[in-house]
Amino acid sequence: MSELSLAAGFPSVPVASDDRTMVLTAFMAFIVLSLLLCVLAGPEDDTTADFYTGNRLLTPVQNALALTGDYISAATLLGLSGLVAVAGYDGISLAVSSCLAVGVFLLLTGPLRNAGRYTLGDIFALRTAGPSSRIAAATATLAVCLPFLVLQLAGAGSATALLLGLTGLGAQQVCTVFVGVLMVCYTVLGGMRGTSLVQIVKVAVVFTTMMLLALLVLGHHDFDPGALLTAAERGSGLHGRYFEPGHAVGDSAVGRLDFLSLQLSVVLGGACMPHVLMRINSAADGATARRAARYAVAVMAVFFLCVVIAGLGAAGVVGGQKIRAVDNSGQSALLLLAGELGGGTSALAGSVLHTAVACSVFVTVLAVVAGITLSAAAALAHDLHAHAVRRGRMSERREVRSARWAVGAVGGLGVFLAAAAQGRNLQSLAYLALALAASTVLPACLYGLFWSRYNRTGLLWTVYGGVLGTTVLYACSLSFSGAPTSLLPEHDFHLIGLQSTAAMAIPVGFLLGWVGSAVGRRARPAEGAGTDLRRRERVLLGAREEE
């Protein structure tokens, strides 16, 4: 395997007509149920607290499940299990890194919740008042969310088309528009509370399916972990090197650096995605947020264990060569495994298991889009419109109305870009989104919370310099051009032989924040900059902020 694939697309596994009918029925049932949940659990009044945080009425367990849903994307479900199946050690290592991202987020949960109110802009405003911090926060949020939104919408469109038995590009684009409109309805009707309940239903479906699949794999090997590992190594086709590193992107120095860069982006970028940070603001206080994050870490640890077991089972039961013959990236591993395990009992059992796995993928792709759309729309309405433009002189009712219009604008832009990009390999957009989060959002949050000399200039240099630098590095990498898996495979103007450039972008973001703060200290302090140091001390001590 010469490239690492974590795309959000749906694997091109043929679906029998009977299975397609079952999947379509279950899929439509989820759509009806989720829309009903959004209507019933949506905002009761037009207040910002209700729309952005659900009035913080979710319990820690509910918040943990919703947070888990934000972290489980199609790339997590399909990409990691497939990578374990075809690359062994590298897939397991990346699964551990994904779990570590939730652990890093746990360390920051208390201070971030106490510092924040609704959006990333509320956290940035803790360090420096005025519209500049709000504009910077909106820029960072949109820069991270938009590539991830396009990736998920495109994957959802191709998945829905495959479900209907359609393979043409036009059909995929129509399905992308359908899914996008559906997600806009979810977000507008449900707000934070409605989308949270959709995430909870998604986690219940996906977690149950993966637990069942893991138990079937273990049962197939008489619940002997040693037998499972031996079978995976023998069936992988890697000739005894299955548990050695280097199969994902090569064993050269460049390949190892590329994989390390990807791991850094997963751990650090995954810990500070804007929609995850917004989710934790729905907790009542810092202590409640930490409790929810601890529960989420436990749930994610079990989930990733199931993903690894399923990947090992696919290598041993299906075989690495058969998986690569269908899809070289391994994303077909789960569906192929479901067919093999279910087919060994009865046709009905095989259809039910195949349907459960397929629906888990559909539900995963659909639900994660709503949270991303809500966080991007909140940045436009709360940070840009209400604070940067109107300077905080906007009624809550008008702000909520603005947020709903922003949902439509963000969703419309995402649908347009996703439909236009159908047919292209969009996996590199995940690398871009994670690298942007790790090189802009993370240093801005860490400096803002824990470094007393961080100022307005440092914040602006971190955000704008980090976004520009990361985007330029991405455009110069193999992810953008120069390889069959690139976004523009027909062109070749890459200067960096890496797919993930996070190892270079992250130090740049932190360095820009430090240099900018040093430059800003020599200039005259901006009006309102560095105000309310006692509030910042209370945040670090874990005190609850008044809303």
Q: What is the pLDDT of residues 355-393, one digit of tens each?
A: 777 777 777 777 788 889 999 999 999 999 998 888 888
Under the banding of pLDDT at 50, 70 and 90, the label for residue 544 is very low
Task: Evaluate whether 143 touches 440 at the Cβ level (below 8 Å).
Answer: yes
Classify residue 60: in a domain, yes or no.
Answer: yes
Classify residue 474: in a domain, yes or no.
Answer: no
Q: Which amino acid is at 43?
A: P
Task: Evaluate whether 428 touches 474 at the Cβ level (below 8 Å).
Answer: yes
Classify residue 489: in a domain, yes or no.
Answer: no
Classify residue 263: in a domain, yes or no.
Answer: yes
Classify residue 238: in a domain, yes or no.
Answer: yes
- Number of domains comprising the chain: 1
Task: Evaluate whether 132 touches 456 at the Cβ level (below 8 Å).
Answer: yes
Task: Evaluate whether 113 touches 289 at the Cβ level (below 8 Å).
Answer: yes
Checking 450-454 for CB contacts under 8 A at 24+ apart, the result is 450/111, 450/540, 451/517, 452/533, 452/536, 453/517, 453/521, 454/127, 454/513, 454/517
Q: What are phi and psi for residue 490, nearest 5 degrees? A: -80, -10
Residue range 479-495: mean pLDDT, rounded: 88
The CATH number of residue 139's host domain is 1.10.4160
Q: pLDDT tens across 401-453, in order? A: 999 999 999 999 999 999 998 888 888 898 899 999 999 999 999 998 888 88
Classify residue 304: in a domain, yes or no.
Answer: yes
**Rounded Cα–Cα distance for residues 481 and 491 (Å):** 6
pTM, rounded to two decimals? 0.89
Classify residue 468: in a domain, yes or no.
Answer: no
Range with lowest mean pLDDT among 35-39, 222-226, 388-392: 35-39
* % of residues, the chain, pLDDT over 90: 31
Q: Tokens standing for 124?
A: 């940035």
Query: 396: exposed, middle or buried (C-beta count within 10 Å: 0-12, 13-18, 19+)?
Result: middle
Range with lowest mean pLDDT among 37-41, 186-190, 205-209: 37-41
**Rounded Cα–Cα distance for residues 23 and 30 (Å):** 11
What domain range is 262 assigned to? Answer: 24-423
Classify residue 471: in a domain, yes or no.
Answer: no
